[in-house]
Amino acid sequence: MLGTTVVVVDDDEDNVAVLELGLQSVGFEVKTARSLREARLLLEAGHADALVTDYSLGDGTAVELLASLGTKRPRLAILVTGHSSPEHVAESRAAGFDAHLVKPVDLRQLERALRGAAVAGATSSSAP
């Protein structure tokens, strides 16, 4: 089953703080990173069940981050971006993101995405 540790990545401190506090308030353990490099270190060390990341990270992109993780990729990857066109959504899905949320993020929607993956993970892992 999907655990409760979420890595939040954004190079904007205010966005990180809002997501961190919001997710902590509903029971998630949150680790934060403000760059692709910091995020990669956390994720490669196995410190996450889910990734919530902005697209542009200053030292790279969320697509580059996800592609670089290989087997260390968390079970769930959610892209948070200001881009909402169907082309952007299709691009994020093709890159391997499980969800594409548009800023400003509705914290209830983000929580539902994270908890929905937990339920799906529990169902598929308990199947014969």
pLDDT (tens digit per residue) in 7-39 = 999 999 999 999 999 999 999 999 999 999 999
Per-residue confidence (pLDDT) for residue 122, from 0 to 100: 42
Q: How far apart are CA 71 and CA 50, in angstroms?
A: 14
5-9+27-47+57-126 under CATH 3.90.1150.10, yes or no: no
For residue 57, the 8-state DSSP code is -
Chain segment 68-120, per-residue pLDDT in tens: 999 889 999 999 999 999 999 999 999 999 999 999 999 999 999 998 765 44
Q: Report the distance separating Cα 78 and Cα 50, nearest Å.
A: 8
Global pTM exceeds 0.95: no
The C-alpha atoms of residue 88 and residue 13 are separated, in whole angstroms, by 24
The pLDDT-based confidence of 123 (bands split at 50, 70, 90) is very low
